[in-house]
Amino acid sequence: MENELLRIEDLHASVEGKSILRGLNLSVPRGEVHAIMGPNGSGKSTLANVLMGHPSYEVTRGRILFKGEDVTALPPDERARRGLFLAFQYPVEVPGVSTMSFLRAALGAVRGEDQPVREFRRRLEGELKDLGMELAFARRNLNEGFSGGEKKRCEVLQLRMLRPELAILDETDSGLDIDGIRLVSQAVAATRRPEASFLVITHYLRILTHLVPDRVHVLFAGQVIRSGGAELARELEVSGYEALRSEHRPAATAQAGTP
Ligand SMILES: Nc1ncnc2c1ncn2[C@@H]1O[C@H](COP(=O)(O)OP(=O)(O)O)[C@@H](O)[C@H]1O
Ligand SMILES: [Mg+2]
C-alpha cells in the first residue's frame, strides 16, 4: 500500500524466553488513528516496546516496516530519528535531569534541531500552556516525584515537542482524571496532520472521543484477533473481552503449543 506508514508482518516476539507476540499483523496508513484494545497481558505494551526496539524484547520471526524500510533490527535511537515515538505506560524517573534539558537534548538527538534557548523556551511554554502546565513543571527532574497524571502529561509534552510521524500511546489515559483525559487527548489530537499516524493503546472509550479511531484492533494472546471501525470499541465496552476470549481460546491455546 503506497500510503502505508507502518506495516507489521507475522511478528513473533519473546521476553526472557517467553513467547508473547505470536504472529501479529497490522497495517497503519498515513494520517490514521488506530486503537489497540485487549485484555491485560495480551501483549499490548510488548508490541509498543518491540516497535521501539526495546532491548529486552527479542523478535523471533516476522518484520516491522516503517515508511517501507525494514526497521526490525534498528536500535531505538535510529527508530526515533526516523519518526517513531512511544509514550510509555510507566514512564521512568530520571533524577538529575530536568524535564526541560531532557526535551532540548531529545529535540537535538531526534530532530537535529538546535534552537536558541529563548526560542526553545518560548515554544516549550506554549506547549505547556496547552497542557495546563507551567514552566516550573519543566524545571523539575524528568518524572521524579511526578503524580501519575503529571507523568502522562509529560509524555504528551514530549510528543508535542517532537511531532513524530508515528506516535504510540500506551495507556496514556490511565492515571488521568476526566478533565485530564480531555485536555491530553485534545492536545494529542491537535497534532494530527495528514502524514502522521497514531497507535492508541487504551481500555477506555473516553480518549477515543477526541481521538476518533479509523480502525480498532483487538489484541489477544499476542495476535490481532479482530479489527473493525470505531463501533468495535463501543461494542467491546458493552460486551467486554470475555465473549472474544471464549471465542478464541482454542486457537490461542493451539498457537501457544507450537514451537
Ligand atoms: N520485561 C518483561 N519481563 C517479563 N515478562 C514480561 C515483560 N514484559 C512483558 N512481560 C509479560 O508479557 C505478557 C504481556 O504483557 P504486556 O505486553 O505488558 O501486556 P498488556 O500491555 O497487554 O497488559 C505478560 O504476561 C507479561 O508478564
Ligand atoms: Mg500494557
Nearest residue CA, atom 9 of ligand 1? Answer: 46
Q: Does 86 have pLDDT greater than 60?
A: yes
Percent of the chain with pLDDT over 70: 94
- Residue with more model confidence, 259 or 230: 230
Average pLDDT over residues 43-71: 97
Q: Which domain holds residue 201?
A: 4-257
Separation of CA 41 and ligand 1 centre (Å): 6
237 pLDDT band, cuts 50/70/90, is confident
Q: What is the pLDDT of residue 259?
A: 42
Q: Quick one: pLDDT band at residue 253, thresholds 50, 70, 90?
A: very low
Kindly state the average pLDDT of the residues 2-13. 95
Please state the rounded mean pLDDT for residues 231-245. Answer: 86
Q: What is the pTM of this model?
A: 0.92
**Distance from the CA of 251 to the center of ligand 1, in angstroms?**
20
Nearest residue to 190 via CA among 138, 234, 245, 126:
126
* Atom number, ligand 1, closest to the C-alpha of residue 47: 17
CA of 43 to the centre of ligand 2 (A): 7
CATH number at residue 41: 3.40.50.300
Three-state DSSP string of the chain: CCCEEEEEEEEEEEECCEEEEEEEEEEEECCCEEEEECCCCCCHHHHHHHHHCCCCEEEEEEEEEECCEECCCCCHHHHHHHCEEEECCCCCCCCCCEHHHHHHHHHHHHHCCCCCHHHHHHHHHHHHHHCCCCHHHHHCECCCCCCHHHHHHHHHHHHHHHCCCEEEEECCCCCCCHHHHHHHHHHHHCCCCCCCEEEEECCCCHHHHHCCCCEEEEEECCEEEEEECHHHHHHHHHHCCHHHHHHHHHHHHHHHHCC
Mean pLDDT within 130-149? 94
- What is the per-residue pLDDT for 257? 41
Which among 16, 19, 20, 171 is the best mutation to test ligand 1's pocket, defined by most ligand atoms within 8 Å of the CB?
20
pLDDT of residue 112: 87
Q: 168, 201 in Cβ contact below 8 A?
A: yes
* pLDDT band with cut points at 50, 70 and 90 for residue 256: very low
Q: What is the pLDDT of residue 255?
A: 47
Residue to substitute in 14, 18, 49 for testing ligand 1 pocket (most ligand atoms within 8 angstroms of CB): 18
Report how many domains make up the chain.
1
Pairing of strands 69-70, 57-66: antiparallel
Asked whether 29 and 1 are in contact (CB, 8 A), the reply is yes
Average pLDDT, the chain: 91
- Lowest mean pLDDT across 85-89, 165-169, 244-248: 244-248
User: For residues 2 and 173, which has the higher predicted lDDT (pLDDT)?
Assistant: 173
- Distance between CA atoms of residues 58 and 83, nearest Å: 22
